[in-house]
Chains A and B, each alone.
Chain A
Amino acid sequence: MIRPMTITEKILAEHAGLREVEPGQIINARLDLVLGNDITAPIGIEEFYKVGAQKVFDPEKIVLIPDHFVPNKDIKSAQQCKLMRQFAQAQQITHYYEVGEMGIEHALLPELGLVLPGDLVVGADSHTCTYGALGAFSTGVGSTDFAAAMITGEAWFRVPETIKINYHGKRRPWVDGKDLILYTIGQIGVDGALYKAMEFAGETIANLPMDSRFTMANMAIEAGGKSGIIAPDKITKEYVQGRAKRPYKFIYSDGEAKYSQIIDIEVSRIEPQVAFPHLPSNVKPISAVGHVPVDQVVIGSCTNGRLEDLRTAARVLKGRKRAPYTRLIIIPATQGIYQQALKEGLLEIFLEAKAVISTPTCGPCLGGYMGVLAEGERAVSTTNRNFVGRMGHAQSEVYLANPAIAAASAVLGRIGSPEELGLPA
């Protein structure tokens, strides 16, 4: 008899050609997709050639996306992108997305249907865990793993234990996936899920829109998690239908599956959360934030640059303007999201609010460009990390929040909520 398994164990077992696996076991597994970007791929490409590799295992299963420092922020970034572009051409990589069609990788791959439920994906970017929102097992690796995976189409894994987190009850107004995950990280800490898979479940998740699910899975790494996963359901099906160009499989945890820990969270008590410097676990409910003036607000990134995020920001910003000395930078995560935001009139609302709208890029999230902070400056950002120096000067500060809080803070010039602007609770 096969032991009861979690969704994560089942995906890993299937891709390793095994009937069952258990936590701690080291397996070699077949990959459905291998991802790299303009920061991580160049090192991997050099490694690829260094060992004398000639061809990638499958040019249709590799995705290369210049998204971090593009359009090239400086000469060195341009060199990195050139290296990746030439590799993509030489290897005839199907899924290379040039500036003008590219988007932030973790928003673009699901949008294009490149990653699907039941898949096993590695990406040379820590936020590769985002695709767990589709019921896939995906995890971040380094450039060497990326290089090896491009050659072999395989990777080694230590089967992780799983923490199950059940979310119960109805979300309050202006609370979305960002608040659920920030609250969770606040509870378990930045290494609370170290080496482990996080499985998000419960009736709150069953009613959570896809974009918020991506936000939650995206930040599993901020709790130290190897992956964050949500069992596929009808919301998943709606999202995937029309995007998928190959078969996919809905996989579910067995009722008797073993978890290393089960956590229950009562959602109706959760307010919008703000993570104070310098750890994502350093959260406070919005009502406890106090007076925190803000120099810059960023709405975007692989965490919160999707359409629902922009719609929420627009609801708050409509008919309002940012505070006089608070810069507001809004970054649709993909060209598709950009276009839809244009059609819906969201971009006009942003421009009227005196926001800067940028082409898709990871730029400001990691202090690359398009919004680097000066000494002593403070930002509210919908991104995922608030480490020392993350968005610029080592003496700058980043506060993480959801798009509604970020937008309201831009208007108020200090951290605050839409309710303070008279928006209905």
Chain B
Amino acid sequence: MVFQGKVWKLGANIDTDAIIPARYLNTTDPQEMATHLLEDIDPNFLSKIKPGDILVAMENFGCGSSREHAPLAIKYAGISCVVAKSFARIFYRNAFNMGLPIFESAAAAEETVSGDELIIDSAQGTIENLRTKKIYRAQPIPPFMQELIEAGGLMNYVQKYKMKG
């Protein structure tokens, strides 16, 4: 997959309460979750983004709760993928399981600013910044997780390999 989009840059330790506040967790509807994306950081965030835009953050993105509402809100708001210096582990795991593409690259995260345009090639593992013309290499994805992506997420993987009959 190739993702091309405009960057919204965030800081370090963006927690899941910031991504979607817990007061909105009383739903299973991902479209509704998306309407609250990053609302406590910027109440107008949703009106600023366009489908295909990319979030870029510093260390420990998605720390805190295990709520899958967080990657769901990001995905259904139309964000194509997330690049960060590092991800909190449950968020990292959730993103692969439910199919939100994420990329770890310290240099790309540090040198990218809001408004930049990135081209990300997931097969090549490259992140290109069109403003600076720099190309970064994302941390390689372990083979098992590559399999998860190819299967279309954990539930499809389970359906394909683990469910009988």
**Residues of A bordering B, CB below 8 Å:** 26, 39-40, 42-43, 46-47, 50-53, 68-69, 73-74, 76-77, 79-80, 83, 124-126, 128, 140-145, 147-148, 151-152, 154, 156, 158, 190-191, 194-195, 221, 224, 226, 279, 366-368, 372, 385, 387-390, 394
Contacts and interface: CB of A to CB of B under 8 A. Distances in A.
Contact of B64 (A73, A143, A156, A387): A387
Contacts of B71: 142
Interface of B: 13, 15, 17-18, 21-23, 25-28, 40-41, 59-60, 63-69, 71-72, 86, 88-90, 93-94, 97-98, 142, 144, 153-156, 158-159, 162-163
Contacts of B88: 191, 194, 224
B67 A142 contact: yes
Contacts of A389: 17-18, 21, 40
Given A51-B159, A51-B163, A145 B93 contact: yes
A43 B98 CA distance: 11
Contacts of A367: 17, 21-23
Nearest to B97: A144
Contacts of B15: 385, 387-388
Contacts of B89: 194-195, 224, 226
Given A158-B142, A195-B89, A366-B22, A144 B28 contact: no
A148 B155 contact: yes
A216 B65 CA distance: 17
Contacts of A158: 142
Given A144-B153, A191-B13, A366-B17, A80 B63 contact: no
Contacts of A387: 15, 17-18, 64
A315 to B, nearest CB: 32
B68 to A, nearest CB: 4
A141 B154 contact: no
Contacts of B63: 190-191, 224
Centre residue among A46, A53, A154 by max chain B CB count within 10 A: A53
25 contacts: A26-B142, A40-B68, A77-B26, A83-B28, A142-B97, A144-B68, A144-B94, A145-B94, A147-B155, A148-B158, A151-B162, A152-B158, A190-B13, A191-B59, A191-B60, A191-B88, A194-B60, A221-B90, A224-B89, A366-B65, A367-B22, A368-B22, A368-B23, A389-B17, A390-B22
A126 B155 contact: no
Given A147-B155, A388-B15, A388-B40, 7 more contacts: A26-B142, A79-B26, A142-B68, A145-B93, A148-B154, A224-B88, A366-B65
A43 B40 contact: no
Nearest to A38: B26
A60 B141 CA distance: 35
A376 to B, nearest CB: 15
A360 B27 CA distance: 22
A142 B96 CA distance: 11
